Structure formats: C-alpha cells, structure tokens
Amino acid sequence: MDGASVAERSLLTLQQLEHLILVLHRRGYEVIGPLVRDGAIVYDVVDRLSDLPAGWTDEQEAGRYRLQRRNDGALFGYVVGPQSWKKYLHPGEVRLLAAERHGQTLRILNNETTPPRRAFLGVRACELAAIAVQDRVLLGDRYRDSVYASRREGIFIVAVNCTQAAPTCFCTSMGTGPRVRSGYDLALTELVGPDKHEFVVEAGSEAGAEVSRELARATAAEDVCQQADAAVERAASQIKRRMDTTNIRELLYSNFDHPRWDNVAQRCLTCANCTMVCPTCFCTTVEDVSDITGTHAQRWRKWDSCFTQNFSYIHGGSVRSSGKSRYRQWMTHKLASWIDQFGSSGCVGCGRCISWCPVGIDITEEVRAIRESTTSSKESGHGNS
Amino acid sequence: MEENKVATAANFDPMLPQPYSVLQVVKETADTFTLTLQARNGAGTAPFEPGQFSMLWVFGVGELPISISGDPSDLGRLVYTVRSVGEATNSLVNREVGEAIGVRGPFGTGWPIHQAEGRDVVVIAGGIGFAPLRPVIYEVLHNRKKYGRLVILYGARSPRELLYRKELAAWVRQNDTQVLVTVDYGGLSWRGHVGVVTTLFKYARLQPARSLAFTCGPEIMMRFAARELENLGFARENIYLSMERNMKCAVGFCGHCQYGPHFICKDGPVFSYDKMRPLLEKYEL
C-alpha cells in the first residue's frame, strides 16, 4: 500500500485495546465510540471495550438498515450507522447565547462552557474525509465558527480501516476510502479469526505515537501487515456502487432543467433524512426562546435542512417551494457548487443518504440517470424519464 | 449596570451581538421606519462600506439581516430603514428610544464605490431597495469631485410610499445630480412619472461607457433594470445588483442564503450582473 506501510506498525491484542481506552481516559479524554442502541450502531460515550458492538454488523441497502449478528466477535465489523461525528463537532442543538433584560439594560452572555476534550474511537476513512470537509466549511473560510472550533481543537482520533463494505458504500468513487490516509492520531485494522483477535495499529501524529508507546506493544510482523492490507483491499473490492464524478460540476450546472428532477421529485418526500444523516451537511437555523417573565432569552442554533419549505423563505414566500427544486438544490450543492465554494466535493461516499432515505433514493443512481441521458444520444433509454 | 464581553481579535465570535441603543425612530411611510442606533458602553461603531448589512436582534424575538442606510462617514451611529412586514420587523420598528437592540456586523460585500471614481454613478432603486443605496448617494455627495454625474432613478408603489422625501428634494438641487422618481399608482395629485422604474431611462442623461450602475429592489425589477441598462450600452460588469435570500448567520455557516455557488451573505449581497445574469433566469434556484 502506498505510503501507509512506511510508518512502523505495531500489533495490539484485545486486552491492549481495552488498555487504549484507559490510556485515553487517563489523558483526560472522554472517549466516544460505537455502541448498539435502538437497533442501530450509534456514537456515544464508551467506558470500556465491552460497550463496543462486538459481534454485530449492519446490513444496508437503499432504504434499508438492519443489525445482524456476526459469527465472530469483531468490534468494528459494521460499516456506518445513522450518526456521524458531526453529532459532537457540529452539534444538532447548541446554545449560542443567553441574555437578560431589565428595563433598558441588556446583558448578552457568550456561552463559554468548554466542551470536554474528546477522543473518537472508530472513525472510518469516509468520516475522516467528512471531518476535513467540515473543517474547510466552518474553520477555513472568512469566519471561524467558534462552536465547531472549540469542539474540534484537541480532538484525538482513533481511525479504523474498513475491512468490509456495505452495498451502499461508494468511497472508492469519491477517493476517500476504505483506507484512512491522513487526519488521524492512530489507525487500527482489525484482524479477527477463529483463533485470534488483534489489531494492527499505526500512528498518524506525534500524539498518536505517544499513546501507542504507552500501550504494551509488539511490532506487527510482515505477514500480519500483509493480512491487514489484504483485509482493506477486500473491502475495496466489495464496493460495487459507483459514482462517475468526471466533470460532475459542469454536468449538474448544465442540467438544471433536466426531466430527471421531476422524476426524483415524484419519489422524494422532502423529509430531510438525507441531510440529517449526511456527515458533511452543515446547514443550521437559529431559534430564539424567552421565559414567561420576558427577562431571559436564549438563542439556539439547530440543524436545518434545505428540504424544508421554510429554509428559503423570504418575505412573500419560499424561493424553493417545489420538492423538485429542493432535491436539485441539495444534490447540486453537494456535488457541484460545493467545489466552487470549498474546493472539494461535499460528498464522501459513505452511503448514509441512500440507506436512510425512506423511499430508497440513491444519489449515485440520480447522477447516472442525468449523465446517461446527456452524454450521448446513442445511449438513450434507461435512466431518462 | 450593564456589561458585555467585548470582542477582541482572539475571541471574536461573529455570532455574538453587541448591545446598541435606539437613538431615534423616524416614520418614513405607513409601514417603513428609519432607526438610528448607537453602541452602548461608549463602544465605537465599526466602519461600514455602502451596501453592507447588519444582523439586528430583538431580545427574545429574532434576528434579521438589514442593510445599513446611513452615512458611511458618520462613524458614531448606525442607521437602518426597515419595512415592517412580519413579527420580527414589526418588533424592530416598535422599539422606543433608549431600548436595546443587538447588532452583529457589518457583513457582506458592498457596492464597489471606489471603482466608480472618475465615472458617473447611476442608482436605480425600487421600494425599500432604496435603503442600501442611500449610503452610495452620501458617499458621492460628500466627495463630489471624485465622481462624475450622479443619476438617481427611484420607483415606489405610490407617492405615499416614497422614502427620504426631504432628501430627494435636496438632492435635486445638487450639482451634476439628476433625480427621477416614478410611482406605480399616482393618484389625482401626483404630477410626476407613473410606471415602472425602467420607464425613467428615457429621461435619464446616461453615459453608459463611463458609468457604474447600482440597483436594488425586487428581483424582477432588478432583472428588467439590468437588461435595459445592457440594451443602453452598459457592460454587464459595470452593473451591480444587491441580492436577497433567507439568512440566519450572515457569515457563511447556516447555508440558507446560497444562490447557485454564491453565499449572498459573504460573497454578496452585491454582485455584478455578469455573475448574476445566468442565475436570474433560473426558476427556484
């Protein structure tokens, strides 16, 4: 594997992985990782290794997500669930300020509660790419989002290379996975078999190397590293979903009036699920609340979605009143105008929007339908409505 | 009595309003008011460019993007002209003198007024769209020698809905200044022009090759005004429009104001017509 195998890799046993959580706790991190709840694998505080979803996997297809038992005890034998790390970095609800008013006096207080230092355990390659995308949006532009900045700074990332893929995955098309490339402190590759359960670990930062040194460690033997690489290769080869991103910006900009938008609008419920599960969607609204005395007020920022009618409301009505225009806005933003705005695609190929769409709309299929009906008149027929 | 964490470079939070006091509320028309605000705690007011806007927050009600309509050379105060059309705008214009309003900003990219130095300035306003153009007029009149002729074309629904009437009368008497006003419905006593603002072009003394045109008003009015200017010989890149979309943050985080690839809040609200023209034709963009 290019680059990745250059760094020295060590081997952790299951017990030593338990130790990793302890070391992170000792260093003052709140550890966030995967656990099973409400029939899904979600991210929350993990105290010990036994909190992790050992022996569980997820079965995904367009409009479908189910947990299944595995026949081994793999801890990271699932792909991605409905939540992403934006739950912690760009929270769904956050208080921007509190204020008090007494007569003509007004006191505006910043929210200075410092969020805990967090370590993320089990971050996939597509999710690292999504964090990099949100860094660019919320930190890398003219203004810095202080909410995101305070949560992002000092984060410790334990990434996990995918050793299996879901049918909804298309990270290979977006160039984001399944192997993690950068932006992590430690990266794990899980090797699980009838008589072994171990993790090849590599450090991606000085902080990662320090933590790695604290764990009892043995250098991973060449054949073990090869097994780890092969497992990631296997995941890559399992990925069958494709999105052709060639000139995708021009493709979508020049197909604003394509009949496919009417076609997808007949299926789309404008429920906003895709934007809620998307790890890069960043849109928010702000709501004011006040108490019954009228002396205390708060401003809250909440996730919002371009699929709602109110999203584009200006005096006189909503700019995007049709479902067609809202789906088109979401997809064109994600895949085309994002490139103009932030220099990369807004899509990382995680497939969440496909699994969690209640009617199984597949963004890769929508792109294909537009492309196939525009690139060549000879290929007319399927995909076009 | 009153305190507020003053934003410094290190902890600057663009989402945190600063408290201002209402100095004056002037009724312009039946539903439109001009508010003058002054920073509290003796804090200064950040300088603004003509065409920029602020986020005005009414305690417990909500926050609105409002263009600054005052004089950019008057550093002590901020002036806004607000049309009361809903709950938030209504509560904004119903503030009493001395009451507090939270202010964030100024934000956005204003009119490229300095590019107009040595050239004529053509201002085309429709309705409340006159507000963000008034700072342009102040700038030109304060620095008369820097600019060529000033042409003001202004349309309102009816004579009763004309903003800044005293100033309009005063601007007519300025050197090298042409002011033309039209209304959609004149009534019996109206002796001026009747019709949409583009009908004024035939009375305006325009030098398209050496002018910059700035327009703000309803989107359809701007579309027609820009098209007409182009027909008259204005280059697309010399025509500027001030766009409006839903806005929650003003700093590019909330996503609401996207217009094609642009964020109206930070890339605009002022854009050149050559950038806007392909987008203006798209329904529900």
In chain B, where does the domain assigned CATH 2.40.30.10 lie? Answer: 18-107
Reduced to 3 states (helix: H, G, I; strand: E, B; else coil), residue A174 is helix
Cβ distance B252 to A146 less than 8 Å, yes or no, reads no
- Please judge whether A108 and B246 are an interchain contact, meaning their C-beta atoms are less than 8 angstroms apart: no
Look at the alpha carbons of B32, B25, B241, B284 in this order and tell me if their dihedral is positive or negative. Answer: negative
| Closest alpha carbon within chain A to B257 | A312
Q: Calculate the average pLDDT of chain A.
A: 93
Predicted pLDDT at B139: 97
Domain that holds residue A69: 9-238
A4 assigned to some structural domain: no
Average pLDDT over residues B14-27: 94
State in words which class domain B113-280 has.
Answer: alpha beta
Q: Structural domain tally of chain A? A: 2
Specify the higher pLDDT residue, A260 or B43.
A260
CB contact under 8 A, A101 and B59: yes
* Alpha-carbon span B98 to B24, nearest angstrom: 8
Radius of gyration of chain A (CA): 23
Helix/strand/coil for A38:
coil
Nearest to A73 by CA among A56, A59, A58: A56
Residue A5: is its pLDDT beyond 50?
A: no
Q: How many Cα atoms sit within 13 Å of B33 on the Cβ side?
A: 19
Question: Least CB-CB distance to B253: which of A110, A284, A299?
Answer: A284
Q: Do B258 and A329 touch (CB under 8 A)?
A: yes
Phi, psi of A152, rounded to the nearest 5 degrees: -80, -40
Nearest to B122 by CA among B235, B249, B244, B261: B235
A170-206 pLDDT, tens digit per residue, is 999 999 999 999 999 999 999 999 889 999 999 999 9
Check A106 against B285: CB less than 8 A apart.
no
**For B98, nearest residue in chain A (alpha carbons):** A104
If we measure between CA atoms, which residue out of B166, B188, B192 comes closest to residue B180?
B192
Considering A179, A211, A238, which residue would you say is the last residue of a domain? A238
A106 and B59 in contact by Cβ < 8 A?
yes
Residue B2, pLDDT > 50, answer no
Whether residues A82 and A13 share a domain: the answer is: yes
Question: What tokens were used for B55?
Answer: 């986020």
Contact (CB, 8 A) for A151 and A88: yes
- Give the residue from A212, A238, A264 where a domain finishes: A238
Report whether pLDDT(B86) > 80.
yes
> Residues A193, A316: one domain?
no
Distance CA B160, CA A342 (A): 46
Q: Say whether both A215 and A136 belong to one domain.
A: yes
Question: Is A243 within a domain?
Answer: no
* Mean pLDDT to the nearest integer, B159-175: 96
pLDDT band per the 50, 70, 90 thresholds, residue B13: confident
The amino acid at B282: K
Q: Which of A173, A176, A161, A162 is nearest to A131 (CA)?
A: A176
Domain with CATH 3.40.50.80 in chain B: 113-280
Of the three residues A238, A262, A294, the one that is the final residue of a domain is A238
pLDDT at A283: 98
Q: Tell me the CB-side half-sphere exposure of residue B27, using CA atoms within 13 A.
A: 7
Pairing between strand A284-290 and A64-69?
unpaired
| pLDDT-based confidence at residue A267 (cuts at 50, 70, 90) | very high
Confidence category of residue A269, pLDDT binned at 50, 70, 90: very high
Query: For chain B, what is the largest distance between any 2 Cα atoms, rounded to a whole number of angstroms?
Result: 60
User: So what's the pLDDT on residue B33?
Assistant: 97
The shortest C-alpha distance from A291 to chain B (Å) reads 9
Instruction: Pick the closest to residue A374 from A244, A268, A264, A266 (CA basis).
Output: A244
Q: In Å, how far is A316's CA from the nearest CA of chain B?
A: 9
* B31-56 mean pLDDT: 93
Task: Place B1 in a pLDDT band, splitting at 50, 70 and 90.
Answer: very low
CB contacts < 8 A, A to B, total: 125
Contact list, A306 vs chain B (CB under 8 Å) = 255
- Beta-carbon contacts of B29 under 8 Å, excluding residues fewer than 6 positions away, are B160, B161, B162, B163
Is residue B6 over pLDDT 90? no
Look at residue A360 and tell me if it is in a domain. yes
Of B6 and A26, the one with more pLDDT? A26
The CATH architecture assigned to B18-107 reads Beta Barrel (2.40)
| Residue A274 shares a structural domain with residue A362 | yes
Same domain? For A213 and A266 the reply is no
Please say if the pLDDT value at position A2 is more than 80.
no
3-state secondary structure of A18: helix
CA atoms of A82 and A358, how far apart (whole Å): 13
Q: Contact A324/B284, CB-based, under 8 Å?
A: yes
pLDDT band at A375 (very low <50, low <70, confident <90, very high): low
Q: What is the pLDDT of residue A218?
A: 87
State whether A77 and A57 are in the same domain: yes
Give domain status of residue A42, yes or no.
yes
Residues A262-285, mean pLDDT to the nearest whole number: 98
Per-residue tokens: A88: 């912690």
Residues A197 and A171 in one domain: yes
Strands B18-27 and B262-263, sheet pairing? unpaired
Instruction: Provide the percentage of residues in chain A whose pLDDT is more than 70.
Output: 95
pLDDT of residue B44: 81
The beta-carbon neighbor of B282 closest among A142, A256, A337 is A256
DSSP notation for B172-235: HTSTTEEEEEEES---TT--SEES-GGGGGGGS---GGGEEEEEES-HHHHHHHHHHHHHTT--
Strand partners, B152: B123, B179
How does residue A109 score in pLDDT terms, banded at 50, 70 and 90? Answer: confident
The answer on pLDDT for A3 being more than 50 is no
User: Largest Cα–Cα distance of chain A, in whole Å?
Assistant: 75
**Do residues A213 and A263 share a domain?**
no
The per-residue pLDDT for range A54-71, each reduced to its tens digit, is 999 999 999 999 999 999
Q: Å from A169 to nearest chain B CA?
A: 26
Q: Residues 236-275, chain B: which have Cβ within 8 Å of A?
A: 244-246, 248-249, 251-256, 258, 260-261, 263, 266
Is residue B178's pLDDT more than 60? yes
Confidence of residue B8 (pLDDT cuts 50, 70, 90): very low
* Cross-chain residue pair A284–B266, CB shorter than 8 Å: no
Q: Are residues A201 and A59 in the same domain?
A: yes
Say whether pLDDT at A216 is over 80: no
Given an 8 Å threshold on Cβ–Cβ distance, is B258 in contact with A337? yes
Quote the tokens at residue A113. Answer: 């509660």
Inter-CA distances, B1 with A58, A98, A102, A105, A341, Å: 58, 17, 10, 7, 44
Query: ipTM of the assembly?
Result: 0.91
- Mean pLDDT of chain B, nearest integer: 93
Residues 44-83 of B with CB under 8 A from A: 57, 59-63
